[in-house]
Amino acid sequence: MLNSHMDVVPVYSEKWTHPPFAADIDNDGRIFARGAQDMKCVGMQYLAAIRRLRKDGVTLKRTIHVTFIPDEEISGEMGMKAFLKSAEFKKLNVGFCLDEGIASANETFSVFYAERSLWHVHFLISGTSGHGSLLHKNTVGQKLQNILNKLMEFRQNEIDRLENDPSLRLGDVTTVNLTVIKGGVQSNVVPSTLEVVFDMRLALNVDHDNFDRQLRAWCEEAGGGIEIQYEQKEAKVEATKIDSSNLFWVAFEKATTELNLKIQPLVFPAGTDAVYIRDAGIPAIGFSPINNTPVLLHDHDEFLQADVYLKGIVIYKKIVSAIGNA
């Protein structure tokens, strides 16, 4: 299965130097468009590669399915996750999937065999309320400070690990980011509740149960009265094997070697539809044939060089042929 998602993130047109949905190409061969990297380019390259294979009369041992899925940018609940439960998907008898990767700023091509687990964690903090002129005990502000201190200390430790160990990449550490704080009624009233939300991406080596217990322990250390609610709490999903036990990986790696491509296997730092595919027990590799290109997914003036796009078609032609005959 060659998977591509059709949806893209919104644009701020005034921040673009070209109309974001016009696919304008400038004198330097840069194609400007929302989705130029994430990931309409890949869906089109799949089709162009298949067209070339058919034109050459190539017959493969395996059936190639091309899927164009909605809603990936809003977590995929109504897209890939729902599709995998359908009778239509089961009829495809999928044994392996290619999905999106990320552009590489250098000559190397990034290849993703796993993803971190996404947790969106809401801390609902309750405390003593009252007049803002007094020094109440056990206020939500004090408890919030304790939670922030613990999580920011953990965050800094992960930053230090990443900066001090050259073998690590972003996908190898756990990221923690404060995204929302809500609460309060007016400036002279100490609120009785506050809500703080964190985006957490758990590294592959993190024990989920232990991490959950640690969060709850920190809540108790902060003074109690803190409820944890999970907006999203992804289970640990097994990584796709990138060794000789996976015949599709062997075929993929052989094809990239014959193309003289320098690939780097990585853990994807964000989230893609591939996580649902792997969770269904199907090996999946995230790969976008984009190198020597600034990473501009979700950014203003997202672009892809025309020659990089055309080279990607040649790359996919070779890879699709290889995995289709694995």
Residue 66: strand pairing partners:
2
Q: Is 72 an annotated catalytic residue?
A: yes
Buried residues in 8-43 as b, exposed as e (16+ CB within 10 A): beebeeeebebebeebebeeeebbbbbbbbbbbbbb
Locate tokens 């065999």: which residue? 113
Could you give the strand order of the β-sheet that contains 175-183, starting from the edge strand earlier in sequence? 175-183, 193-202, 117-126, 226-233
Q: Helix 306-324 vs helix 40-55: angle between axes, to the nearest 10 degrees?
A: 60
CA distance 245 to 5: 29
CA distance 182 to 143: 14
Residue 267: strand pairing partners:
114
**H-type alpha helices, 224-288:** 247-258, 274-279
Locate tokens 């991490």: which residue? 211
Q: Is 7 an annotated catalytic residue?
A: yes
Q: Which of 7, 158, 195, 279 is catalytic?
A: 7
In a 3-state reduction of DSSP, which class is residue 134?
coil
Q: Which of 38, 71, 72, 273 is catalytic?
A: 72
First to last CA, the chain: 13
Residues taking part in catalysis: 7, 72
